[in-house]
Structure 1
Amino acid sequence: MDTIPAVLRAAAAAHGSHPAYVEDGRTLGYDDLLTHVRDVARGYLAHGVEPGDRIVIWAPNSIDWAVAALAVTYAGAILVPANSRYTAREVADLVDRTAARVVVVADGFLGRTQVADLRAASDLASVRLVQDIARLDELVEAGETVPEETAEARADAVRPDDVADILFTSGTTGRPKGAMSAHRQTLGVARAWGEHGGVGAEDRYLAINPFFHSFGYKVGIITGLATGATLYPLATFDLDRTMALIETERITVLPGAPTIYQSLLTAPGREHRDLSSLRVAVTGAAVVPVVLIERMRAAAPAGLGIDTVVTAFGMTEAVVVTMARAGDPAELVATTCGRAIQGMETRIGEHGELLVRGEYVMLGYLDDPEATAAAIDADGWLHTGDVGELDADGNLRITDRLKDMYICGGFNVYPAEVEQVLSRMDGIADVAVVGVPDERMGEVGRAYVVPAPGAAAPTPEAVVAYAREHLANFKVPREVRTIDALPRNLGGKVLKNELRAPARSTEKKD
């Protein structure tokens, strides 16, 4: 059972009508989930989807997202999730680079016109169908021309080493790279995460982490299949709704970025909510204060009373590498990312860089053998770009980043991508972006802008507006500073450590 279709069938057989998903009064059992997935897969086949074709999903969390995604692999195709906050230009780039046959979108999400914007951004030469996720019944109707036996044969033909998904992550060059994973890898990390987190069929799992991210898709949707847990998808994080769901649905598992738990702990009216059902929390993606772990474990009303709180380390190229374990002391959980999971190895290489190797390291980057060779050496070690330390027990502590990536609200932001966009703005001669601490988001972007000679310096508001037009919201710098020149070393490299300092004497006072 090392393919996603096989695990879906096994889950339906083992759990029957036990709820797989609950959302806004709609409940879908594991048996009905299989039926819905098969029917949508038949719809893909009716539109000419062949084994190995790519299908992009650009939508927020929902039951329909899970159905549409699982149907991709059931049809023998490859899933390409797109960030729901991306602009149409960013999604069009993914569609064109993957030569996607189908694009599933949430038209109207956040008040936007996704379908029209996407068609305006690209001619979508490879695309045969742009499907609104709110009308999956249209796919089901189209699939009625395809016999069930044909869909089952397509699912039977999927092999463990076939590519299951391509998750894009921006590299230091600013160009997104597609990390390819096989079915056995996507399933393996989901099973490992579920095992170390102690997740089972009796659990009710609040899926706040976005499904387009590995934290939501692989250790959310796929972990659900592997364990029989019930998932409650949330399209957007709303604090009051989150507390209401925990209380009324007796949520037991709540993974998320540290900001989720900080928001819960400081939420107005929390003392009037019964959040005692929470028993498992897994966090990561940012430095976690020791006091936060202590408060998450502390009994109400001071804390959340969560019995098992663990941290983890992973990346798109290797979704789960290390995890803390239940019973680890709060300081270890807060200051380390735990130990390597089964099937993975860690070591510290040159310049203190963390290297990882094992079963869950990606197959490689899509259509980019040079980037793949640069990331994975001849001995199979993935060079993470993070500087770390390993203690005597193998617990990993991330101490710095070789790359300049920062984490805003749980999402990775690569300054080179933002810099490339801002450098195209009229009036800007040079630009550098760094991550700076933020109490709510963990880190936010600060852009240092050098005006073009003889040009009026663009206002901070204009720079932010330009960024919003071209980039997802979490990538948009929250602060813009005008500067005479960027600090550089003799080799021309920008000295970003200087830019991260609280203040600079060379900044212009506007």
Structure 2
Amino acid sequence: MRHDQELKSIPNVVRVAARRFGDAPALVDGDLRLTFRELETRMVEAVRSALALGIGPGDRVGLCAPNSAEWIVTALGIQGAGGVVVPLNTRFKAAEISYVLRKSGARALFAAASFLGTDYIADLRRTDPELPALRITVSMPGGPEGLRWSQFLAHGEEVTEAAAHESIDRLTADDVSDVMFTSGTTGHPKGVVLTHGQTLRAYGWMSTAYTFAPSDSFLVIPPFFHCFGYKAGWLASLMHGVTVIPMAVFDAGRALEIIHQERVSIILGPPTIFHDLLNHPERSGYDLSSLRVSMTGGTTIPESLIRAMKKDLSFDIVLSAYGLTESTALVTTTRPGDTEETVARTTGRPIPDVEVRIADDAGREVPAGRDGEILVRGYNVTRGYWDDPEATAATIGPDGWLHTGDIGHLDTDGNLAIVDRKKEMFIVGGFNAYPAEIEKLLLGYEPIAQVAVIGVPDERLGEVGCAFVVPRPGADIGAQDVIAWAREHMANFKVPRQVRFVDRLPRNASQKVLKHELRARYEG
């Protein structure tokens, strides 16, 4: 029997972990320190309280809060009662949150009372007072709107511990655990339906392959409303007895302090996190020797960053991976022992029991080395988009292949290289140009710390590239330096015709660059 089959559901992970790891540290959040047994106790209290509020099988419940112990306990409480968690992007405005809650049919909302100056429940009452989710609200930890967290927990006295455990026991691997809404950087967000079993199978395998162990501690920086922070983060940790340290807002200086103080050994996240840690002026003052395992998602990972992560941040293992929410956010990954070139150039091989093929515009499979759309099939593929059969049918074929909209190719060893998002491609004089490929090449120019490329109108060529560049500290470069270097290192049609220097790239909370903001900045 696979371990994930034994676990069966996400709340059951905590019960099994309490038996296996007992009084070992499970969760560190500021001054709060919980053992695995104590975390189970907190979870059961939350399940009792959720049941007392009337949350039951299949009920969708919104959760909008920063990375924290309360987020984890709340999610476990909702799921343990049979409910479905709808994680909400904490950077969304009230109208965007309202859309997700209405679309998902959420009947309750748990939200931070104050995060980044926002009281989500109060904002929603002003924006959409008739929103059904506002009938049951819990303010975390407590604010002027809704039940305070302590009041929510007090409701649990109406339900026995035995009833909570019975509710958890009824969960199956096929039950829906969450509806994860896509980031909405283009168009309305779509709700991706995922199950307990999909999640446990994917991340049970991943965390084992990544060598997670009870002696590890994991500083979880990616937001919990994204699979990166939630499933590859705290959930994968609890499956292996790893201590979870949530970080509400990334700050490189504070992260270095936590690594030093808590002997952090695992950090997964986008490249920008590691760039910021490396470039922090006080990095050398911290002991980072505990760092052991890292994985950085995305398509622009220069070998120089991998070498710096090993040399200057002390990581033994640096990996890359690829996934999208519709695939439980995990499709391919490199493995420990892969070369730096493989980690930089590709996102690795498909995870077990998952197929990847590359297809042309007519749907025909193309040979190794040739670019096409990445298609995925396997247990990790979503059942579909919530309440959107048309979008589901347009994305998942009758044969089960998920059309990712990403462009890439497989090498002769089966490693997947991502070229770009299909929709971000622009055409320069008849040649297809992929921003992510150009960005990866530009990162080979030492004075460039970060870069994002967009296609912009050009009278002669139709479109050309415009590069938004964040220079390395102390670098003295101009636009013509970047263009001249690019002309030496890439095909002419890929060379950006325009360069704009910026202090930072606009990103959403998942650290994806907001290309639409760059386009607006260009047009403005």
TM-score, length-normalised on structure 1? 0.80
Given candidates 25, 31, 36, the residue that maps to 2:37 is: 31
Name the structure 2 match of 1:289: 302
Given candidates 325, 331, 336, the residue that maps to 2:341 is: 331
Q: Aligned equivalents of 1:104 and 1:438: distance in 2?
A: 39
1:231 lines up with 2:244 in the alignment: yes
Q: Give the residue type in structure 1 aligned to 2:331.
A: V
Q: Kindly tell me: are residues 8 and 440 of structure 1, through their superposed partners in 2, closer, same or farther at Cα, counting changes over 3 Å?
A: farther
Name the structure 2 match of 1:214: 227
* 1:69-114 superposed Cα distances (whole Å, 9 cap, x missing partner): 1111111100110011111111111111112122111111111232
Alignment check: 8 A CA contact 2:112 2:119 kept: no
Given candidates 382, 393, 402, the residue that maps to 2:402 is: 382
Q: Aligned equivalents of 2:301 and 2:388: distance in 1?
A: 34
Name the structure 1 match of 2:212: 199
* 1:104-130 superposed Cα distances (whole Å, 9 cap, x missing partner): 111111112322101122222244311
Percent identity over the alignment is 42
Q: Displacement, 1:274? A: 1.1
* 1:316-367 superposed Cα distances (whole Å, 9 cap, x missing partner): 0111100001111111101100111112111101241011111111111101
Q: Give the residue type in structure 1 aligned to 2:422.
A: L
Given candidates 416, 421, 435, the residue that maps to 1:396 is: 416
Alignment check: 8 A CA contact 2:264 2:291 kept: yes
Given candidates 345, 360, 382, the residue that maps to 1:362 is: 382
Q: Aligned equivalents of 1:20 and 1:95: distance in 2?
A: 31
Name the structure 1 match of 2:138: 131
Q: How many residues align?
A: 429
1:353 lines up with 2:373 in the alignment: yes
1:62 lines up with 2:62 in the alignment: no
Alignment check: 8 A CA contact 2:218 2:264 kept: yes
Name the structure 2 match of 1:310: 319
Q: Aligned equivalents of 1:171 and 1:178: distance in 2?
A: 10
Q: Give the residue type in structure 2 aligned to 1:129.
A: I
Name the structure 2 match of 1:488: none
Alignment check: 8 A CA contact 1:205 1:251 kept: yes
SS in 1 for 2:376: strand
Cα RMSD after superposing both structures: 2.5
Q: Kindly tell me: are residues 112 and 436 of structure 1, through their superposed partners in 2, closer, same or farther at Cα, counting changes over 3 Å?
A: farther
Q: Aligned equivalents of 2:14 and 2:170: distance in 1?
A: 15
Q: Displacement, 1:6? A: 2.0
Q: Aligned equivalents of 1:153 and 1:481: distance in 2?
A: 55
Matches within 5 A, 1:99-498: 99-122=105-128, 123-134=130-141, 135-170=148-183, 174-298=187-311, 303-318=312-327, 319-351=329-361, 352-404=372-424, 437-439=468-470, 477-478=517-518, 480=520
Q: Give the residue type in structure 1 aligned to 2:341.
A: E
Given candidates 14, 18, 32, the residue that maps to 2:24 is: 18
Q: Aligned equivalents of 2:286 and 2:415: distance in 1?
A: 36
Q: Aligned equivalents of 2:519 and 2:400: distance in 1?
A: 40
Q: Kindly tell me: are residues 179 and 345 of structure 1, through their superposed partners in 2, closer, same or farther at Cα, counting changes over 3 Å?
A: same
Q: Aligned equivalents of 2:522 and 2:513: distance in 1?
A: 21
Q: Aligned equivalents of 1:481 and 1:200: distance in 2?
A: 45
Q: Aligned equivalents of 1:331 and 1:179: distance in 2?
A: 33
Name the structure 1 match of 2:9: 3
Alignment check: 8 A CA contact 1:40 1:136 kept: no
TM-score, length-normalised on structure 2? 0.78
Q: Kindly tell me: are residues 62 and 373 of structure 1, through their superposed partners in 2, closer, same or farther at Cα, counting changes over 3 Å?
A: same
Q: Aligned equivalents of 1:323 and 1:108: distance in 2?
A: 37
* 1:393-433 superposed Cα distances (whole Å, 9 cap, x missing partner): 1100011221239999xxxx9x9xxxxxxxxxxxxxxxx9x
Q: Displacement, 1:386? A: 0.7
Q: Kindly tell me: are residues 440 and 313 of structure 1, through their superposed partners in 2, closer, same or farther at Cα, counting changes over 3 Å?
A: farther
Q: Kindly tell me: are residues 473 and 397 of structure 1, through their superposed partners in 2, closer, same or farther at Cα, counting changes over 3 Å?
A: closer
Alignment check: 8 A CA contact 1:172 1:403 kept: no
Q: Aligned equivalents of 1:402 and 1:150: distance in 2?
A: 49
Q: Give the residue type in structure 1 aligned to 2:317.
A: T
Alignment check: 8 A CA contact 2:408 2:419 kept: yes
Q: Displacement, 1:225? A: 2.0
Q: Kindly tell me: are residues 171 and 394 of structure 1, through their superposed partners in 2, closer, same or farther at Cα, counting changes over 3 Å?
A: farther
Q: Give the residue type in structure 2 aligned to 1:337.
A: T
Q: Aligned equivalents of 2:25 and 2:72: distance in 1?
A: 14
Q: Aligned equivalents of 2:67 and 2:466: distance in 1?
A: 27
Name the structure 2 match of 1:89: 95
SS in 2 for 1:320: coil
Q: Aligned equivalents of 1:198 and 1:128: distance in 2?
A: 44
* 1:142-188 superposed Cα distances (whole Å, 9 cap, x missing partner): 11111222222211111110111110015697121100011100111
Name the structure 1 match of 2:145: none
Q: Aligned equivalents of 2:468 and 2:382: distance in 1?
A: 31
